[in-house]
Structure 1
């Protein structure tokens, strides 16, 4: 019986440690629309400045990101057609990592 309890505890600890397989921690802005897209005036060759929502919170899409083109297509679609997406912002960076 003790062996069974220890095995169950071990499996629960292992499962809880594996947690989120995502490489970064994201804060999600669900059902949000892009309200403005411009090149970042301070770093035009590195990133785009993206405004989300009525309160115009400002975030960025890195031009060096491997999925830059896909992120920009979705951001542009949201801006032009007022389509809402779930937008994942990397914690402590204000960089948009996912749009779904």
Structure 2
């Protein structure tokens, strides 16, 4: 019986420490403002170029993403009204995956 208790405790610890892997795959730019939005000249049917901040780092919105319209709307608000957001960029792809309100 004691062995089962240790096994269940070990299993519980593994499950609780696994967390959400999708948020770990993102680099966050907090309190960021979008400085430009343009069609990507190389892949106009797939991507939109988004520049963030004064240094104009370029990232992309995928038109094939399920959240594309929502992300584009928030990006446009940031660009036109200088609204700040927390922006999550997928590592190794430079694709914007999340845009969250600053709290």
TM-score bucket of the superposed structures, by smaller chain: 0.7 to 0.9
Question: Residues of 1 paired with 2:43 and 2:24: CA distance?
Answer: 23
Residue 54 of structure 2 corresponds to which residue in structure 1?
Answer: 54
Residue 12 of structure 2 corresponds to which residue in structure 1?
Answer: 11
CA contact (8 A) 1:24 1:90 kept: no
Moved over 4 A (4+): 1-6
Q: Does 1:84 align with 2:84?
A: yes
1:10, CA displacement in angstroms? 3.1
CA contact (8 A) 1:34 1:75 kept: yes
Q: TM-score, normalised by structure 2?
A: 0.85
Q: TM-score, normalised by structure 1?
A: 0.87
Gaps of at least 5 residues in structure 2 are: none
State the number of aligned residues: 99
Gaps of at least 5 residues in structure 1 are: none
Change in Cα spacing, 1:64 to 1:7, as seen in structure 2 (3 Å) is closer
Question: Residues of 2 paired with 1:90 and 1:61: CA distance?
Answer: 11
Alignment of 1:32-51 (within 5 A): 32-51=32-51
1:7, CA displacement in angstroms? 3.8
Residue 93 of structure 1 corresponds to which residue in structure 2?
Answer: 93
Please report the RMSD computed on the Cα atoms of aligned residues, expressed in angstroms: 1.9
CA contact (8 A) 1:28 1:88 kept: yes
